[in-house]
């Protein structure tokens, strides 16, 4: 969870350059912090929206292995899609720059950031599996709690990494550093989705 959060945070596609721009335009570190907060809230909500349906599905204990396999194939499929279609989603360009929370939410959904957490989440649920005869309500509460925990820890790591990058650029490096050192992470992002899905699939098939 933490490693994926750091990975998402360092990735400029998750929005930290927008926080730098906000800080520089208003010449205020407070504006930078507020932008980072909006990005965090949007990212967190995106994680929850993706994980909550799976938190309900994994209460069906007898289908847990099949759900994990299906989720792994979904992540792999989305990674292949992002590898083939490398264009930046046009929807994100239509969101006003002042609505950073909405932008962050849409970016995390469009890029599959939430899907990348699904195999991790399902693995945690399996590791902490309750008695198969436990009440459905207990299972649902436990899985929902795990989904919230995964989302919060991941988002905290994401904003810590992204916030560090944003502060360094804002305080010391400047936007020229971003323009000169910019490189396309679409292929790396797609590959990471495929890798996470493949690892999860192999573990699911081996158990």
Q: Which two tokens stand for residue 136?
A: 């459905």
Other CB atoms within 10 Å distance of the CB of residue 99: 13
Taking only the tens of pLDDT, the chain with its 207 residues reads 888 888 888 888 778 888 888 888 888 889 899 999 999 999 999 999 988 888 777 666 667 777 788 888 888 898 888 788 767 666 666 777 678 888 889 888 888 888 888 887 877 765 444 455 555 555 566 778 888 888 999 999 999 999 998 998 888 876 666 665 555 567 777 888 888 888 888 877 776
- How does pLDDT run across 52-109, given as a tens digit for each residue? 888 777 666 667 777 788 888 888 898 888 788 767 666 666 777 678 888 889 888 8
Whether the pTM exceeds 0.85: the reply is no
Judging by beta carbons within 10 Å of its beta carbon (0-12, 13-18, 19+), is residue 162 exposed, middle or buried? buried
Q: What is residue 141's predicted lDDT score, i.e. its pLDDT?
A: 65
% of the chain exceeding 70 in pLDDT: 77
Cα–Cα distance measured from residue 154 to residue 166, given in angstroms and rounded to the nearest whole number: 18
Q: What is residue 128's predicted lDDT score, i.e. its pLDDT?
A: 46
Closest CA to 47 of 196, 147, 156, 185: 147
Cα–Cα distance measured from residue 95 to residue 115, given in angstroms and rounded to the nearest whole number: 22
């Amino acid at each position: 969870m933490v490693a994926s959060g750091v990975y998402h945070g360092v990735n400029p596609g998750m929005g930290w350059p927008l926080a730098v721009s906000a800080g520089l335009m208003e010449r205020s570190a407070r504006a930078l912090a507020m932008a980072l907060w909006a990005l965090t809230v949007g990212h967190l909500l995106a994680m929850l929206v993706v994980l909550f349906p799976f938190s309900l599905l994994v209460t069906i204990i007898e289908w847990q292995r099949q759900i994990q396999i299906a989720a792994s194939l979904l992540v792999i499929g989305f990674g292949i899609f992002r590898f083939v279609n490398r264009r930046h989603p046009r929807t994100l360009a239509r969101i006003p720059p002042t609505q950073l929370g909405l932008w962050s939410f849409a970016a995390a959904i469009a890029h599959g950031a939430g899907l990348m957490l699904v195999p991790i989440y399902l693995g945690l649920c399996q590791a902490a599996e309750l008695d198969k005869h436990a009440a459905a309500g207990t299972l649902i509460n436990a899985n929902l709690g795990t989904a919230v925990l995964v989302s919060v820890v991941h988002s905290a790591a994401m904003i810590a990494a992204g916030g560090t990058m944003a502060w360094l650029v804002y305080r010391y490096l400047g936007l020229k550093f971003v323009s000169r050192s910019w490189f396309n992470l679409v292929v790396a992002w797609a590959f990471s989705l495929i890798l996470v899905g493949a690892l999860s699939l192999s573990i699911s098939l081996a158990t």
